[in-house]
């Protein structure tokens, strides 16, 4: 019979002519031979491994392993064909086998690590688990193609990871609060830090004092025990010597009775003297131990008080320095504010002065330009009038409407009054041409006009026009000079 395996399968042939197992993708199955087809495609195994850390904290490790036979190694493939292939890949037997290997190695590794190491070193923990599991799977010809370890999960009743997450959140929130408080109240935090350091140092000194006292007490007890041991050893030696002396005396009792008695008395006296000496040494050691104990107690107390006073003095100095620095900082800020205010006021005043100066300059420039224009205008008029200043003045008065304004003022002044009207005439007659008549009429009208102006306004005509004979006329008068 000729058999051909599919791409993901192998043929395991046993029987006549084959020493153990022959693996092939295709081949003849001869009489007396048996052929088994097994699949080498990998399978996903999902587990929830329950493990316990070194602190005896249980946790669940969800994991998905993709496991299959090692097809690139013939020896591993033979192991798989012998040990695993007879069973279905999804059978309970295979699942328990793989799960047992994974759970066993995971529990052993987790038992040697703390929960913090497992949580923070997830990547290293995963690699360590994979390495140890792979070593166990090699004996079955299996290889881990892929493995995915999910997030560690708490066992019901042991909410370590949830509390750890809450701890991380609270630490972050507390850190934010600490940062804000540190930025806003740095001085208070510094003060609290100093107080905490003082308390810690005092506690450290108290603990060290107790430790030293306990050590000294233990050393005294050890010395006392040592002295007692030496005394006991010496007494035993003396007892042995006494026993030896008694034996010697027994042998020589006949001839040495007196000497033995004397030796015994001397031995007893020597023992008493030695015991007294040892007792004196013990008392001296006890006195020295008590002296050292009292010295350590009072010296430590004095040292603690000295350190406390030093810390208090340092704290007072630190507070005074900080207060002085705060006052200095406030004064500097006030000086800077006053300086900035003065500079701003000076700048504003300077800008106002510059504006006023600029306006005055422009106004002066306008006046200069106007004066130049008027000078040019008057110079041109004076030149046109042949340099006659009187003619220029008369022209300006006439062109400026001064006489019309005077007439209006007079009219307003005498409105509603009853003025006295005087009429002058020279008797009539023909004086020549009509043009000369008009000129003569103008000149005849001037004297009464100037008199009326004088009466109304108090103004006198120019000296070149002559003087009036009656300057004290008070009543309003209107003069008319008829020809």
- Would you state the pLDDT for residue 349? 84
The answer to whether residues 422 and 480 touch, using CB atoms and an 8 Å cutoff, is yes
Same domain? 96 vs 141: yes
Split at pLDDT 50, 70, 90, the class of 482 is: very low
pLDDT of residue 397: 79
Q: The domain containing residue 66 runs over which residues?
A: 40-158
Within-domain flag for 399: no
> pTM of this prediction?
0.33
- Dist CA 313 CA 192 (whole Å): 16
Report the number of secondary-structure helices (H) and strands (E) in the chain. 10, 11
- Residues 119-129, mean pLDDT to the nearest whole number: 71
State the pLDDT at residue 62.
Answer: 78
Is 83 part of any domain? yes
Whether the pLDDT of residue 431 is over 50: the answer is no
Residues 6 and 91 in one domain: no
Tens-digit pLDDT profile for residues 218-246: 787 887 788 788 878 878 888 878 777 77
| Count of structural domains, the chain | 2
**Which residues neighbour 388 within 8 Å (Cβ) at sequence distance 6 or greater?**
382
448 domain-assigned: no
Query: Is 12 a domain residue?
Result: yes
pLDDT, tens only, 295-328: 767 777 777 777 788 788 888 888 888 888 888 8
Same structural domain, 12 and 106: no
Name the pLDDT band for 439 (thresholds 50, 70, 90): low
% of the chain residues with pLDDT over 70: 81
- 22 in any annotated domain: yes
| pLDDT band, very low/low/confident/very high, at 433 (cuts 50, 70, 90) | low
- 57 and 1 in a single domain? The answer is no
DSSP 8-class letter at 231: H
Mean pLDDT in the chain? 76
Q: Looking at 109, 126, 158, which one is the last position of a domain?
A: 158
The band of 473, judged by pLDDT with boundaries at 50, 70 and 90, is: very low
Q: Are residues 148 and 75 in the same domain?
A: yes
Which of 133, 158, 183 lies at the terminal end of a domain, its last residue? 158
pLDDT score, position 464: 60
423: its two tokens: 């009429």
Do 3 and 109 share a structural domain?
no
Encode burial over 332-361: b for 16+ CB neighbours within 10 A, e otherwise: eeeeeeeeeeeeeeeeeeeeeeeeeeeeee
Three-class SS of residue 356?
Answer: helix
Which of 158, 176, 209 is the last residue in one of the domains?
158
22 with 57, same domain?
A: no
What is residue 152's predicted lDDT score, i.e. its pLDDT? Answer: 67
Helices 402-414, 389-399: axis angle to 10 degrees equals 50
Are the CB atoms for 183 and 189 separated by under 8 Å?
A: no
Mean pLDDT calculated for residue range 90-105:
81
Angle at which helices 160-184 and 186-251 pack, to 10 degrees?
A: 120
Reduced to 3 states, what is the DSSP secondary structure of residue 85? coil
Q: Is residue 481 part of a domain?
A: no
Q: In angstroms, what CA-CA distances link 64 with 52, 61, 75, 324?
A: 19, 10, 26, 67
Instruction: Please report the pLDDT score of residue 466 as a whole number.
Output: 55
Residue 204's pLDDT is 82
Mean pLDDT calculated for residue range 417-422? 57
Element at 96 (helix H, strand E):
helix 92-111
Instruction: Band the pLDDT of 385: cuts 50, 70, 90.
Output: confident
Q: Is residue 403 part of a domain?
A: no
Query: What value does the mean pLDDT take over residues 153-170?
Result: 64
Provide DSSP, 273-290.
HHHHHHHHHHHHHHHHHH
Closest CA to 43 of 12, 5, 80: 80
Provide the CATH number for the domain around residue 62: 3.30.479.30
Q: Contact, 5 vs 23, CB < 8 A?
A: no
| Same domain, residue pair 67 and 16 | no
What is the rounded average pLDDT of the residues 25-46? Answer: 85
Closest CA to 101 of 73, 124, 67, 58: 67
* Judgement on whether residues 100 and 65 belong to the same structural domain of the protein: yes
Is the model's pLDDT at 98 over the cut of 50? Answer: yes
User: Residue 422: pLDDT above 60?
Assistant: no
Contact present, 145 and 157 (Cβ < 8 Å): no
Same domain? 69 vs 112: yes
* Model pLDDT, residue 443: 67
Q: What's the token pair of residue 142?
A: 């299996």
Average pLDDT over residues 116-142: 77
DSSP secondary structure code for residue 461 in this structure? P
- Within a domain: 31: yes
Question: Going by C-beta distance under 8 Å and a sequence separation of 6 or more, which residues neighbour residue 205?
Answer: 300, 303, 304, 307
In terms of domains, do 56 and 72 share one? Answer: yes
Residues 76 and 153 in one domain: yes
């Amino acid at each position: 019979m000729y058999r051909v395996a599919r791409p993901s399968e192998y043929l395991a042939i046993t029987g006549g002519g084959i020493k153990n197992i022959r693996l092939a993708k295709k081949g003849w199955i001869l009489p007396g031979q048996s052929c088994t087809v097994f699949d080498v495609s990998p399978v996903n195994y999902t587990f929830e491994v329950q493990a316990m850390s070194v602190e005896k904290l249980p946790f669940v490790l969800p994991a998905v392993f993709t496991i299959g036979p090692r097809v690139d190694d013939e020896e591993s493939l033979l192991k798989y064909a012998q040990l695993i292939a007879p069973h279905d890949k999804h059978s309970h037997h295979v699942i328990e086998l793989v799960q047992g290997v994974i759970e066993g190695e995971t529990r052993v590794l987790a038992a040697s690590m703390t929960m913090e190491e497992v949580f923070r070193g997830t990547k290293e923990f995963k690699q360590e688990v994979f390495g140890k599991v792979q070593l166990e799977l090699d004996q079955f010809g299996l290889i881990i193609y892929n493995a995915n370890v999910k997030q560690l999960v708490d066992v019901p009743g042991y909410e370590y990871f949830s509390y750890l997450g809450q701890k991380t959140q609270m630490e972050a929130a507390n850190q934010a609060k600490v940062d804000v408080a540190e930025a806003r109240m740095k001085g208070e935090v510094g003060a609290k830090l100093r107080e905490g350091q003082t308390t810690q140092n005092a506690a450290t000194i108290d603990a060290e004092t107790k430790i030293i006292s306990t050590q000294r007490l233990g050393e005294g007890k050890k010395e006392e025990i040592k002295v007692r041991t030496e005394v006991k050893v010496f007494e035993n030696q003396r007892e042995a010597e006494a026993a030896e002396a008694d034996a010697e005396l027994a042998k020589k009792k006949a001839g040495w009775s007196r000497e033995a008695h004397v030796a015994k008395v001397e031995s007893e006296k020597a023992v008493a003297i030695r015991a007294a000496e040892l007792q004196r040494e013990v008392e001296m050691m006890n006195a020295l131990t008590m002296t050292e104990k009292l010295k350590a107690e009072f010296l430590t107390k004095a040292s603690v008080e000295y350190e406390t006073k030093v810390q208090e003095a340092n704290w007072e100095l630190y507070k005074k320095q900080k207060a002085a620095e705060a006052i200095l900082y406030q004064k500097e800020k006030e000086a800077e504010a006053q300086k900035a205010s003065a500079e701003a006021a000076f700048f504003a005043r300077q800008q106002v002065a510059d504006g006023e100066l600029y306006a005055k300059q422009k106004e002066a420039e306008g006046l200069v330009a106007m004066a130049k224009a008027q000078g040019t205008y008057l110079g041109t008029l004076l030149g046109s009038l042949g340099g006659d200043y009187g003619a220029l003045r008369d022209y300006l008065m006439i062109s400026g409407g001064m006489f019309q304004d005077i007439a209006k003022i007079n009219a307003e002044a005498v409105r509603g009054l009853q003025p006295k009207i005087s009429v002058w005439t020279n008797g009539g007659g023909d004086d020549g041409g009509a043009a000369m008549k008009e000129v003569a009429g103008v000149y005849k009208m001037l004297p009464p006009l100037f008199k009326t102006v004088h009466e109304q306004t108090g103004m006198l005509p120019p000296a070149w026009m002559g003087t009036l004979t009656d300057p004290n006329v008070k009543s309003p008068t209107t003069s008319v000079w008829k020809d």
